Amino acid sequence: MKNNNFKLGNLYIVATPIGNYNDITKRALITLNKVDYILAEDTRKIGILLKNFNIKKKLYSYYEYNEKKKIKLFLEKIQQGYNIALVSDAGTPLINDPGYRIIQLCRTQYVNIKIIPIPGPCAAILALSISGLPTNRFCYEGFLSKKKNKRIKRLHELKLENRTLIFYESTHRVLKCLYDIKKIFGKDRYIVFIKELTKKWENIYGNSISNLIRWLKLDLNRLKGEIVLVISGYKSSNNNYKISSKVIRTFLELKKELSTKKAIKITSDIFSIKKNLLYKFYIKKNTNYDSNNVE
Ligand code: SAM
């Protein structure tokens, strides 16, 4: 309904259920009922949800990057007084779903448009909340890259991250990713495999990475469905972290030409390891060098 009183319409960012339709909020229903248009990535999927709640609205497909012109048209519509809701296929829009560009434009160019958030489920937060891992600080990583070398690089960067880590995963790639995680984080890192939240085949299993892989391979049906991996952050009490001989050789070579500080910085950048581990190694080397610390 065109908003004649205030001239401008609003942009509503509406979260929808991630499986169980009973999780739709009252505000989401009220909003979806009152807006003029609904933007969705997959209008067919959202059409099914709307039909379930008897909501009949004009739907437009919304993609992030191939429809820049279309996004501006939607924003102009809001400026003309129309109310628009943005939804994703499931869960909270923008969380690994389209919407960033439209919000960014509202914040930078269409600053008079009001963005109204309508909260609801988000798989990452739900998974974190039931993982049993620390929730006070966490690190949301979305999907790891499909490309093995990019994935490995990112995992190396995250190896010493001490906050709880959250990844989204798909049935087809999860085993490959788990093998890479095991290789880089170590076989004993604790991980919680969470799938099909709020749905019939909901399943939650926590164990070391190697035991999780073993458990999944016992019944490949366990891989089916939508998956979140919640992984324990690196524990600094694991002070048995070893510095490889390759790292030490690189550091010592750089040290011949550069200051200790620079050599440490470059070595830690190359191998994605924490600078203070190298500092500790350097201090030990110059006091009582302990070869047990080297792999
Ligand atoms: N915007 C969504 C949200 O708020 O969670 C996420 C969209 S992202 C494209 C889809 C991924 O989210 C899936 O591949 C899966 O990793 C995760 N996901 C979505 N629904 C889920 C569910 N019911 N159970 C477990 N993971 C889910």
Say if 4 falls within a structural domain: no
Same domain, yes or no: 152 and 77: no
Ligand 1 touching residue 98 (CB < 6 A): no
* Distance separating alpha carbons of residues 140 and 150, to the nearest angstrom: 17
Q: How confident is the model over 264-277, as pLDDT tens digits?
A: 999 988 887 888 88
Domain-terminating residue out of 93, 121, 149 = 121
How many angstroms does the Cα of residue 125 sit away from the middle of ligand 1? 10
Smallest CA-to-CA distance from 186 within 166, 168, 167, 211 is with: 211
Compute, in angstroms, the gap from residue 28 CA to the centroid of ligand 1: 19
Of 121, 149, 165, the residue at which a domain comes to its end is 121
> Is the C-beta atom of 196 inside 6 A of ligand 1?
yes
pLDDT tens digits, 89-143: 999 999 999 999 999 999 999 999 999 999 999 999 999 999 999 999 999 999 9
Task: Provide the H-helix boundaries in the chain.
Answer: 26-34, 43-52, 68-79, 100-108, 123-131, 148-158, 174-185, 209-218, 245-257, 260-271, 275-286
Q: Which of 42, 203, 227 for mutating ligand 1's site (highest number of atoms within 8 Å of CB)?
A: 227
Q: What is the CATH number of the domain that holds 100?
A: 3.40.1010.10
Q: Looking at residues 211-221, what average pLDDT do you find?
A: 96
**Cβ(196)–Cβ(94) under 8 Å?**
no
Q: Which atom of ligand 1 is nearest to the CA of 167?
A: 16
Question: Which among 155, 167, 163 has a CA at the least distance from the CA of 133?
Answer: 163
Residue 169 domain-assigned?
yes
Q: Evaluate: CB of 197 within 6 angstroms of ligand 1.
A: yes
Query: Would you say residue 181 has pLDDT above 60?
Result: yes
The Å distance, Cα 166 to ligand 1 centre, comes to 12
Residues 130 and 105 in one domain: no
> Does the beta carbon of 41 lie inside 6 Å of ligand 1?
no
Cβ(170) – ligand 1 distance below 6 Å: yes
Do residues 97 and 129 share a domain? no
Q: How far apart are CA 194 and CA 187, in angstroms?
A: 19
What average pLDDT does the segment 201-222 reach?
A: 96
Instruction: Quote the domain boundaries for residue 251.
Output: 245-293
263 pLDDT higher than 80 = yes
> Phi-psi region for residue 97, left (φ > 0), alpha (ψ -120 to 50) or beta?
beta
Q: Are 93 and 124 spatial neighbours (Cβ–Cβ below 8 Å)?
A: no
Query: Of 121, 137, 168, at which residue does a domain stop?
Result: 121
Place of tokens 């440490």: 264
Within-domain flag for 5: no
State whether 130 and 224 are in the same domain: yes
Specify the number of domains making up the chain.
3
> Which of left, alpha, beta for 99 (phi over 0: left; psi -120 to 50: alpha)?
left
- 289 alpha carbon – ligand 1 mean position (Å): 49
Q: What is the mean pLDDT of residues 207-221?
A: 96
Read off the pLDDT of each residue in 245-256 and give the average, rounded to a whole number: 88
CA distance 108 to 113: 10
CB neighbour class for 8 (10 Å; exposed up to 12, middle 13-18, buried from 19): middle
Asked whether residue 150 falls in the same domain as residue 193, the answer is yes
